[in-house]
Amino acid sequence: MIPSLPRSKLSRHAIGGYVVAFFVFLFVPLVVVAVFAFNDANYPAPPWRGFTLDWFLGGGSGRTGLFADGPLVNSVGTSVIVAAWVTMLSVFVGTANAFLLERARFRGKAALSLLMLAPLVIPGVILGISILAFASRLAQFVDDIWGLELDILRPGLPLVVAGQFSYVVSIATLTIAARLKRFDATLEEAAFNLGASRAAVLWTVTLPYLRPALVGAAAISFLMSFENFNTTLMLVGSDPPLTIMMYGRMREGASPVLNAVSLFLMVASALIALVLLRRPTRGAGG
Amino acid sequence: MAAETAVGIAAPRARLALLLLLAPALVWLVGLIVLPHLELAVLSLRARVAPRVYELSLGQYRTFIDEPLYWHTFVRTAGISILATVCTLLIAFPAAWYIAKLARGRARSVLFVLCLIPFWVSETVRTLGWMILLRESGVLPRVLVDLGITPAPIEMLYHDATILAGLVYTSLLFMVVPLVSALESLDDSLIEAAYDLGGTGWSILRQIVVPHAAPGIAAGSIVVFMLTLGNYLTPTLLGGKNSLWFTEQIYTQFITRFNWEQGAAFGFLLLVLSTAIVWLGLKLTGQHFGDVMRRS
């Protein structure tokens, strides 16, 4: 069972083989996606017909590569814009929440901190429909009272940002609060004693200390937003983010251009992961 | 900021700081969580009697009970989710054991990170991979033919087993991570002592390892169950038209048929089931919600 106990050769090989099989299971779908992005065929399926870059660079001659596929490239742009908003909002509100949970004292704090975790156990589809329904009620209300048509409350990117933010901020809050909890308050007191103003202390002592958690929370928020599907599906309007676009195309049929954009995504997330893992962000999620 | 309350400076300023800190949290929780769910509850309980005139009704919930398709789908979704959770646990446990107990030094952290990598990639991409592997013209049916196991390529998509496999795959990370951290904290000397006292592999596992890892097992299972129940992408893409997943019913009512009242009722039923299972899981293992969430 453990190295210090006698283990039969058989059991050692069995668990070794199992772990190999486990990792093959984990990686096979990704490898397959990557490989068929380069297959010289109109359909991502065996057999192998030779290497091509058509699915990235192609344009015109029957094959539309990733970079010539307008709607697909636009959807990547949409995802980046949505993710940027969600990240900004989540890190900002998450930081405020962390100070609220770790520093402030007020009645109902325990209930509030529990409520902050609630979005993590609400299925994403339900977050989506409830925000959709509520926004539509608000839009109706505004229309009835002031006769205003508020597009911002109709399915579209603002609602997608709101929907994703509603649970991503829970994760950002947990990440930042965990680091703030371990902060040594005497550092702040020392700065006060040396005559620093409140803003100066926050800016030069507390926030620099929180930096790794802020970076970690930002990276996780960006990734969560970029990959979100369930909530987005319910709130999306006429300009779909990448996950929704890919889903639509996958239902219609397969084209290796999806493999190409997937490979692009894999490389991008691997880069984000590397940045995160190389930093000493202990406890900053992941 | 709120440090003022801790340090204890002028009260009115501290009040103001507290309010400023509270504002974003309240806007978020009230505006995006509490009120929308109240709206959902109201929607699910009303019936339209005339244009813009509504009255209280349990009609939507009655439809759910009267229409076998709906509650069959509900029960089926719950059943497959439980099965997927159990399978995920069984598959993840030996791997987590290897990482936590058998791998040493650098190998351990490398293996752990290797477990995380596939989950940095979008679920859409992973599902695309499975579709290329399993569809009739895909990789695996071709391999089976080449090996002479099947005479012609077989369609491996659109089965319940495919949905199950896809769900297990998507969930593994959320099981491996809490299991590894639970098993790492188990002192090897306890296992050695049990062995010296004549314990066999099985009895050590049952009496020492599982009780110690119970919090990790519970945390992983709860998260996996919740995510599986609310999954939409994997069942619809791997199960095709026969997937009969409950989130799909919600989508159909809300978006396709524009029957928001019915969709809201379905959403509420799913929310109740999800919450009930989470609560039950916590009760059975005597844990606190906050701790479990922080751990995962």
Best of B91, B132, B208 to mutate (most A CBs within 10 Å, chain A)? B132
Q: Judge: B33–A106 Cβ closer than 8 Å, yes or no.
A: no
pLDDT band of residue B57 (cuts 50, 70, 90) is confident
Residue tagged 């290497």 (tokens)? A51
Q: Is residue A196 part of a domain?
A: yes
pLDDT at B5 over 50: no
Q: Is residue B44 part of a domain?
A: no
Burial class (CB in 10 A: 0-12, 13-18, 19+), A146: exposed
Give the pLDDT confidence score for residue B36 in this predicted structure: 95
pLDDT at B204 over 80: yes
Q: Is residue A28 part of a domain?
A: no
Nearest C-alpha in A relative to B139: A46
Give the pLDDT confidence score for residue B24 in this predicted structure: 93
Instruction: Provide the number of structural domains found in chain A.
Output: 1
Our CA-based measurement puts residue B255 at a distance from the nearest CA of chain A, in whole angstroms, of 7
The string of pLDDT tens digits covering residues B246-290 is 999 999 998 888 899 999 999 999 999 998 888 888 887 766 666
Q: Judge: B116–A273 Cβ closer than 8 Å, yes or no.
A: yes
Nearest to A126 among B122, B128, B267 (CB): B267
Nearest to A125 among B3, B139, B247 (CB): B247
Q: Between residues 12 and 71 of chain A, which touch chain B (CB distance below 8 Å)?
A: 15, 18-19, 22-23, 25-33, 36, 43-47
Q: Is residue A47 part of a domain?
A: no
Q: Is residue A273 part of a domain?
A: yes
Give the pLDDT confidence score for residue A127 in this predicted structure: 94
pLDDT at B132 over 70: yes
- The answer to whether the CB of A211 falls within 8 A of the CB of A180 is no
Instruction: Return the closest-CA partner of residue B32 out of A160, A243, A8, A70.
Output: A160
Beta strands in chain B (DSSP E): 46-50, 53-56
**Residues forming beta bridges with residue B56, ordered by sequence position:** B46
Our CA-based measurement puts residue A93 at a distance from the nearest CA of chain B, in whole angstroms, of 6
Residue tagged 């100066």 (tokens)? A200
* ipTM for the whole complex: 0.86
pLDDT at B30 over 90: yes
Is any Cβ of chain B less than 8 angstroms from the Cβ of A247? Answer: yes
Which residues span the domain enclosing A269?
Answer: 70-278
Q: Is residue B5 part of a domain?
A: no
Instruction: Return the closest-CA partner of residue A202 out of B2, B20, B257.
Output: B2
Q: Is residue B28 part of a domain?
A: no
Give dist(CA B139, CA B153) in Å, integer: 10
> Which chain B residues contact residue A185 at CB under 8 A?
6
Q: Judge: B191–A1 Cβ closer than 8 Å, yes or no.
A: yes
Q: What is the pLDDT along chain A (286 residues), one digit of tens a residue?
A: 777 777 778 888 888 899 999 999 999 999 999 998 888 888 888 888 888 887 888 776 667 777 878 888 999 999 999 999 999 999 999 999 999 998 888 888 889 988 998 898 899 999 999 999 999 999 989 988 888 888 888 899 999 999 999 999 999 999 999 999 988 888 888 988 998 888 888 898 889 999 989 998 998 899 899 989 999 999 998 899 999 999 998 888 778 889 999 998 888 888 877 777 665 544 433 3
Q: Judge: A134–B232 Cβ closer than 8 Å, yes or no.
A: no
Give dist(CA A262, CA A252) in Å, integer: 17
Give the pLDDT confidence score for residue B156 in this predicted structure: 87
Q: Is residue B146 part of a domain?
A: yes
Q: Is residue B114 part of a domain?
A: yes
Give dist(CA B113, CA A227) in Å, integer: 19
A241 residue type, one letter: P
Nearest C-alpha in B relative to A12: B102
Give the pLDDT confidence score for residue B289 in this predicted structure: 65
Best of B7, B13, B15, B28 to mutate (most A CBs within 10 Å, chain A)? B28
Q: Dig out the tokens for B232 from the structure.
A: 């939409």
DSSP B7-27: HT--HHHHHHHHHHHHHHHHH
- The answer to whether the CB of A244 falls within 8 A of the CB of A229 is yes
Q: Dig out the tokens for A88 from the structure.
A: 């900004």
Q: Is residue A260 part of a domain?
A: yes
Contacts 24+ apart (CB under 8 A), B208-216: B209/B183, B212/B182, B212/B183, B212/B185, B212/B186, B213/B179, B213/B182, B213/B183, B213/B186, B214/B182, B214/B285, B215/B182, B215/B285, B215/B287, B215/B292, B215/B295, B216/B178, B216/B179, B216/B181, B216/B182, B216/B183, B216/B295
Q: Is residue B29 part of a domain?
A: no
Q: What is the arithmetic mean of pLDDT over B209-213? A: 88
Q: Judge: B188–A36 Cβ closer than 8 Å, yes or no.
A: no
**Residues forming beta bridges with residue B55, ordered by sequence position:** B47
Instruction: Provide the number of structural domains found in chain B.
Output: 1
* CATH classification of the domain holding A147: 1.10.3720.10
Q: Which residues fall within 8 angstroms of residue B245, CB to CB, at 6 or more apart? A: B73, B77, B163, B231, B232, B235, B236, B239
Q: Is residue B39 part of a domain?
A: no
Count CB pairs under 8 A between chains A and B: 266
Q: Is residue B34 part of a domain?
A: no
> Which chain A residues contact residue B287 at CB under 8 A?
none
Max mean pLDDT range (A187-196, B23-32, B150-159): B23-32
pLDDT band of residue B94 (cuts 50, 70, 90) is very high
Length of chain B: 296
Give dist(CA B254, CA B236) in Å, integer: 16
Which residues span the domain enclosing B181?
Answer: 69-295
